[in-house]
Amino acid sequence: MGKLNLQVNLGGLAMKNPVTTASGTFGFGLEFAPFIDLARLGAIVVKGTTLEPREGNATPRMAETPAGMLNAIGLQNPGVDAFLRDYLPPLREIETPVIVNLSGNSVDDYGRLASILDGADSVAALEVNISCPNVKQGGIQFGTLPASAAAVTRSVRENTKKPVIVKLSPNVTDITEMARAVVDAGADALALINTLLGMDIDIRTRRPVLANIFGGLSGPAVKPVALRMIYQVHKAVKVPILGMGGIMNGQDAIAFLLAGATAIAVGTANFTNPRATMDILDGIGEYCIREGVRDVNELIGAAH
Amino acid sequence: MPTQKTSSINSSAVLADAVILSQEELKAGFFRLVLAAPELARRCQPGQFVQVRVSDGVAPLLPRPISIHSFDGELGILSLLYHVAGQGTGKLSRLPAGESLRIWGPLGKGWSLPENLTDGSAAMPAYVDIDKEKTLPVFVAGGIGIAPLPPLAKAWRNAGSEALLLYGARSAGQIVTVDEFTAMGVDVRIATEDGSAGVTGRVTELLKELDRKGKEPLLYVCGPKPMLQAVAQLADERGWLCQVSLEERMCCGLGACLSCVCKKKTDDQKEGGKGWTHAKVCTDGPVFWSREVVWNG
């Protein structure tokens, strides 16, 4: 058997393998450098970035749930200028494409951010966050109405030549309607799923656990929902999908590829195992060798 | 206010499958776990913590951040002291010697010591100009907050300094590892809320009666947040330097997820700033100077 091909193409972004990181779970990349070889990743998706710095929500911002967790960080980030100045330069040293996740308060904000990031050579692609459940603006309202999702996508598309990946919210009735709207507006790829809106209540204090009351549910608990939505969207549109939602190991990642994902992002698993991305990458390779798969692209959508 | 260099990356952290050498219940619900993890133990500094993965599966899903109670780089061992608070620590307490446990660390920025007090190998940065001859280190613990203090006490005692432990708990049943401090020659005072050991009352009562021995107290505090706040306020009133070890709900422990933030004062008010920023307890702390912390709000 010849050499195994793990290279994939995510809407114009060439990746040496399908493994990326989910925004918000991997900081700006270097936080995990003591544990993994960042150069082995297919891409690094960094923390959500906004035009201005944000302090995010009050604590508690996190709650553990059965097979999952809720977060309500609220897009805490240093702002795009500080990102380009302080956080991007060290990432340039690593031979891994950097995908910047961006978020705004208005359609215009998204366009401005796209324009600023378009000028940064070492940003390989943009992931447009229209689905953060934890901020009043710049979040979920763009991601739950097809018209506003399309307007945001168009605004980004008009301001960058880089691949545009639009991250969809699962908190909608029909995910395929959202997918079609943003693809028609110029998305090169789709990322799904973002977190599911949830909450927990402390029965001792009789109060919601999170200061923000609601938060985004992630982890193994959401995997069946993510797989279903990726399966549906793969059927509905032609663009590649970056799949995520509770991927904990190589077998999970394979299931996402089979459902229709071209690449996968590791999120909550980074918290349970700082080497998770490497173990998942190894797991994909081992599966391919065991199953006689020569090219990982053979697996994409093979469950259909 | 002392200035503080912060690093948001734990560049010395390692991942280890640590073998459990012993697991001992010191008092009801209070456990000491001794682990063999040579590479990790070699890198520890006082006040740091490790992330402990209690399960291989999804329950509990997240690792538990636990203070490093002691470490010995030469022997390659470290110990953790913890109180069973829920599902995770409950499961941890049932793991027997011989099992291995996935841990990563050492994490976070620990206690600050005077530069002239550390040996070269510890490479402890000096954040504040202190003359150790004129300083009385006072360790203030509430309940399981005793956990990260022994390596700190050891560092001061190895340098020949007098040292004091003020230890508060609800009752005698929650007083653990005092003998470790007395064996080091630390002067120990105890307060319990029910009066079952030491003086009756809270640890702040001990602090109010502090015999300063002609020296300037430097407080190192770990315990529940109301206690930290009360001690910090007292330190502020008396003009004493005070470091506090904070706790927040945590996921990664690496500065990536931003779950565990606290409000830290900034100097930007003159420029119209709000005067605080969200600092990461996991990597900017867990130890902060008490005067840097915004306690209310």
Smallest Cβ–Cβ distance between B9 and the set A31, A59, A61 belongs to: A31
SS3 state at B100? strand
Q: How far is CA B194 from CA A50, A196, B200, B210, B231, in A?
A: 52, 46, 6, 21, 20
Cβ distance of A59 and B262 shorter than 8 Å = yes
The pLDDT of residue A143? 80
Structure tokens at B238: 């008396």
Q: In DSSP terms, which residues pair with B81 in a beta bridge?
A: B32
Region A162-181: what's the mean pLDDT?
Answer: 96
**Partners of residue B107 in chain A, C-beta under 8 Å:** none
pLDDT at position B56 is 86
Q: Look at residue B180 in the predicted model and tell me its pLDDT.
A: 96
- What is the spatial distance between Cα A254 and Cα B122, in angstroms, rounded to a whole number? 45
Q: What is the pLDDT of residue B124?
A: 44
Residues 6+ apart with CB under 8 A from B57: none
Nearest C-alpha neighbor of A40 from the set A92, A83, A80, A97:
A97
Q: Does A61 touch chain B (CB under 8 A)?
A: yes
Question: In sequence order, what E strands does B28-108 have?
Answer: 30-36, 49-53, 64-72, 77-83, 100-107
Are A143 and A149 a contacting pair, CB within 8 Å?
Answer: yes
Min Cα separation A99/chain B (Å):
16
In tens, the pLDDT along A3-18 reads 899 999 999 999 999 9
What is the distance between the alpha carbons of residues B9 and A179, in angstroms, rounded to a whole number?
37
Q: How many C-beta atoms lie closer than 10 Å to residue A189's C-beta?
A: 25
Assigned token pair, A81: 């200028």
pLDDT tens per residue, range B94-139: 999 999 999 999 999 999 887 655 544 444 444 455 677 888 999 9
Establish if B250 touches chain A: CB-CB under 8 angstroms: yes
- The tens digit of pLDDT for each residue in A129-143 reads 987 655 555 455 678
d(CA A21, CA B213): 55
For residue range A74-88, list pLDDT tens digits in order.
999 999 999 999 999
Contact A232, A205 (CB under 8 A): no
- Alpha carbons A100 and A46: distance in angstroms, whole number: 6
**Confidence at residue B117, expressed as pLDDT on a 0 to 100 scale:** 53
Stretch 106-145 of chain A: residues touching chain B, C-beta under 8 Å:
none
Quick one: closest CA in A to B256, which residue? A27
Q: In this predicted model, what pLDDT tens digit does every residue of A201-256 receive, in sequence order?
A: 999 999 999 999 999 999 999 999 999 999 999 999 999 999 999 999 999 999 99
CB contact under 8 Å between B248 and A67, yes or no, is no
All domains of chain B, ordered by start, with CATH? 14-107 (2.40.30.10), 115-292 (3.40.50.80)
pLDDT tier at B210, thresholds 50, 70, 90: confident
Q: Which residue of A has its CA nearest to B54?
A: A272
Tell me which residues of A are annotated as active site: 132
Query: Residue for token digits 């998204």?
Result: A110
Whether A54 has its CB under 8 Å from any CB of chain B: the answer is no
Q: What percent of chain A has pLDDT over 90?
A: 92
- pLDDT value for B211: 80
Indicate the pTM of the whole model. 0.94
pLDDT for B209 beyond 70:
yes
More confident residue, A303 or B159: A303
Contact B256 A270 (CB under 8 A): yes
Q: In this structure, are residues B112 and B128 in contact, taking their beta carbons and an 8 Å threshold?
A: yes
Average pLDDT of chain B is 89
Comparing B160 with A97, the larger pLDDT belongs to A97
Query: Does the beta-carbon distance from A35 to B104 stay under 8 Å?
Result: yes
Q: What is the pLDDT of residue B90?
A: 96
**Angle, in degrees to the nearest 10, between helices A146-157 and A175-184:** 30
Size of interface A-B (CB pairs under 8 A): 106
pLDDT at residue A114 above 90?
A: yes
Span B219-275, pLDDT tens digits? 999 999 999 999 999 999 999 999 999 999 999 999 999 999 999 998 776 666 678
Nearest CB to B251; choose among A56, A59, A69:
A69
Residue type, position A104, single letter: G
**Hey, what amino acid is at B269?**
Q
Q: Which of A164, A161, A165, A41 is nearest to A91 (CA)?
A: A41
A35 touches chain B (CB under 8 A): yes
Q: What is the mean pLDDT of residues A93-111?
A: 94
A8-55+76-197+218-299 has CATH 3.20.20.70 classification: yes
Q: Are A283 and A36 in contact (CB under 8 A)?
A: no
- What is the spatial order of strands in the sheet that A189-192 belongs to? A19-21, A263-266, A241-243, A189-192, A164-167, A123-129, A98-102, A44-45
ipTM: 0.94
Q: A152-161, B33-42, B105-114 — which is least confidently predicted?
A: B105-114
Spell out which residues of chain B touch residue A66, defining contact as CB-CB under 8 Å.
58-59
Any known ligand binding at A267? yes
> pLDDT for A279-295, tens place per residue?
999 999 999 999 999 99
Angle at A95 between CA A91 and CA A99, to 5 degrees: 60
User: Hey, CA dihedral for A139, A145, A148, A154, is it positive or negative?
Assistant: positive
Nearest CA in chain A to B263: A58
Q: Which tens digits make up the pLDDT trace of A183-204? A: 999 999 999 999 999 999 999 9
* Residues A294 and A15 sit within 8 Å (Cβ to Cβ): no
- Neighboring chain A residues of B259 at a CB cutoff of 8 Å: 59, 61-62, 71, 73
Say if CB B202 and CB B213 are below 8 A apart: no
Q: Please state whether beta strands B216-222 and B241-245 pair in parallel, antiparallel, or not at all (unpaired).
A: parallel
B115 and chain A: CB distance < 8 Å anywhere? no
